[in-house]
């Protein structure tokens, strides 16, 4: 839902690094996004097409690497992906859980042309 | 021939917001102003709880309320009527407050004139969690009619909050709300977080909330002289 401000932040970071490297063009942007962060790829792309106009990143492809939510039960030591109805351990019902992945939210790299 | 190059960055996407949040935090510390960010879904009772809190705290404290809403000044008007100085931020469509919006609001007043800042975030159970504001504490208000499954369905919101208020307990007889399922969901995301069940309507449990807030306030002022 807040993809506009998120997309603006992505563009700011991309342009800052592209300019530092004296790029003439940005061709790819690699994003790593965990499922717990509730960002929708399509709407980021939608805003991207609007706000990147008139910048050197206008033709860049947004490459999303989604990271699934992965929990580990600290009582029975099994790993699982929560199914959306309950986040408790499906094996033993425990609420004693470690979050292994799913909270990622970063820009990994960009490809540029000089 | 153009030269191709990969640049490795690895930067948190909301870095800029987090940086500004830190500035807000510094500014609030300097003014010794204790602050809370209240988050909840629409209608959970944020403004009502703020009104009750003002009744209890304005006699002894100078309170500033900053209200985030997509449009309208209704909530700020309610806070002003209840005895606080109130600033409304209209986000103009945005589903959350961010650190820049709070920064602008903070610069409208002399922070040294207040002891307690209450920020009412935009009613939304998804977005506000991602945007740090720089407040000292984060409060999540859940309410009984929303259902006991919300921590399971909106895990992001419950991570990182410092206390969870469960409002509208007067409705428990009319709604299937399994407190154990709710608490277990919380425990997964936020082990040991304190839950304060209360009803703004009957007043039951309000004193526990006032006690939590009063203790936090005292603690903060002791640590930042
Ligand atoms: N039954 C019951 N109703 C309550 C309670 N607390 C608040 N309400 C009602 O819930 C409705 C919404 O309350 P608000 O305080 O405006 O909620 P809010 O979270 O500020 O809403 P937004 O700012 O619009 O997101 C109002 O009709 C309140 O009277 C409670 O403890 N019990
Ligand atoms: Mg309100
Ligand atoms: Zn288990």
Percent of chain B with pLDDT strictly greater than 90: 73
Question: How is residue A38 written in tokens?
Answer: 């509730």
CB B137 within 8 A of CB B36: yes
Q: Could you give phi then psi for residue B117, rounded to 5 degrees?
A: -115, 125
**How far, in Å, CA of B129 to CA of A89, rounded?**
24
Closest CA of chain A from B96, distance in Å:
8
Q: Rounded mean pLDDT of chain A?
A: 92
C-alpha–C-alpha distance, residues B198 and B201, integer Å: 9
pLDDT score, position A38:
74
ipTM, two decimals:
0.83
Q: Residue A1 — pLDDT band, cuts 50, 70, 90?
A: low
Ligand nearest to C-alpha A95:
3
Which value, to the nearest 10 degrees, does the dihedral of the CA atoms of residues B220, B90, B121, B113 take?
20
How many C-beta atoms lie closer than 10 Å to residue B93's C-beta? 8
Pocket of ligand 1, beta carbon within 6 A: B 40, 42-48, 75, 123, 167-168, 170-171, 199-201
**Residue in B9, B95, B189 nearest the CB of A109:** B9
- In A, what residues contact B, Cβ < 8 A? 1-2, 4-6, 9-10, 12-13, 17-18, 21, 23-25, 27, 31, 36-38, 69, 71, 82, 84-88, 95-97, 99, 103, 105-114
Residue-range domain boundaries for chain B: 3-224
Lowest mean pLDDT among B18-32, B81-95, B171-185: B81-95
Which uninterrupted H or E stretch holds A93?
A: none
Tens of pLDDT, residues B81-107: 999 999 999 887 778 899 999 999 999
Class of domain B3-224: alpha beta
A9/B152 Cβ within 8 A:
no
- Euclidean distance between CA atoms B122 and A2, whole angstroms: 12
**According to the model, what pLDDT value does residue B123 have?**
87
Chain A residues in contact with B149 (beta carbon < 8 A): 85-86
Instruction: Output B60 or A5, whichever has higher pLDDT.
Output: B60
CA–CA min distance A2, chain B (Å)? 6
At residue B216, the pLDDT reads 97
Burial of A85 (0-12, 13-18, 19+ CB in 10 A): exposed
Identify the structural domains of chain A with CATH numbers, from first to last: 2-113 (3.30.2320.80)
Q: pLDDT per residue over A53-96, tens digit each?
A: 999 999 999 999 999 999 999 999 999 999 878 999 999 999 99
What is the separation of C-alpha B92 from the centre of its chain, rounded to a whole number of angstroms? 19
Extract long-range pairs of B208-216: CB within 8 Å, 24+ residues apart: B209/B49, B209/B53, B209/B165, B210/B53, B210/B56, B210/B57, B212/B163, B213/B36, B213/B53, B213/B57, B216/B34, B216/B36, B216/B136, B216/B137
Ligand closest to CA B41 = 1
When pLDDT is cut at 50, 70 and 90, the band that residue A42 belongs to is confident
Q: Are strands A61-67 and B137-143 parallel, antiparallel or unpaired?
A: unpaired
SS3 content of chain B, % helix, strand, coil (to 5): 45, 20, 35
């Amino acid at each position: 839902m807040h993809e506009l401000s998120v997309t603006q932040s992505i563009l700011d970071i991309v342009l800052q690094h592209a300019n530092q490297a004296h790029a003439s063009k940005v061709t790819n942007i690699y994003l790593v996004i965990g499922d717990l962060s509730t960002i929708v790829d399509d709407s980021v792309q939608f805003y991207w097409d609007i706000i990147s106009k008139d910048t050197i990143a206008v033709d860049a492809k947004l490459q999303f690497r989604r990271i699934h939510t992965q929990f580990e039960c600290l009582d029975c030591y099994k790993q699982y992906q929560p199914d959306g109805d309950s986040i408790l351990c499906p094996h033993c019902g425990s609420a004693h859980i470690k979050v292994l992945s799913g909270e990622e939210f970063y820009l990994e790299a960009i490809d540029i042309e000089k | 021939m153009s030269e191709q190059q990969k640049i490795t960055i690895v930067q948190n996407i909301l870095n800029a917001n987090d940086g500004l949040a830190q500035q807000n935090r510094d500014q609030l510390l300097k003014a010794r102003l204790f602050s809370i960010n209240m988050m909840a879904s629409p209608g959970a009772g944020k403004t009502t709880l703020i009104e009750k809190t003002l009744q209890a705290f304005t006699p002894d404290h100078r309170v500033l309320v900053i209200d985030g809403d997509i449009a309208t000044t209704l909530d700020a008007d309610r806070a002003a009527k209840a005895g606080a100085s109130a600033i409304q931020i209209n986000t103009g469509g945005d589903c959350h407050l961010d650190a820049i919006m709070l920064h602008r609001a903070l610069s409208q007043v002399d922070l040294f004139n207040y002891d307690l800042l209450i920020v009412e975030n935009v009613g939304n159970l998804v977005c506000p969690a991602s945007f740090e504001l720089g407040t000292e504490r984060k409060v999540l208000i859940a309410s009984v009619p929303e259902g006991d499954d919300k921590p399971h369905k909106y895990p992001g919101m419950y991570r990182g909050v410092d206390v969870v208020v469960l409002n509208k307990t007067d409705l428990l007889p009319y709604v299937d709300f399994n407190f154990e399922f709710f608490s277990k969901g919380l425990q997964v995301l936020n082990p040991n977080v304190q839950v304060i069940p209360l009803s703004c309507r009957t007043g039951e449990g309000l004193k526990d909330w006032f006690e939590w807030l009063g203790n936090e306030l005292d603690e903060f002022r002791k640590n930042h002289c």
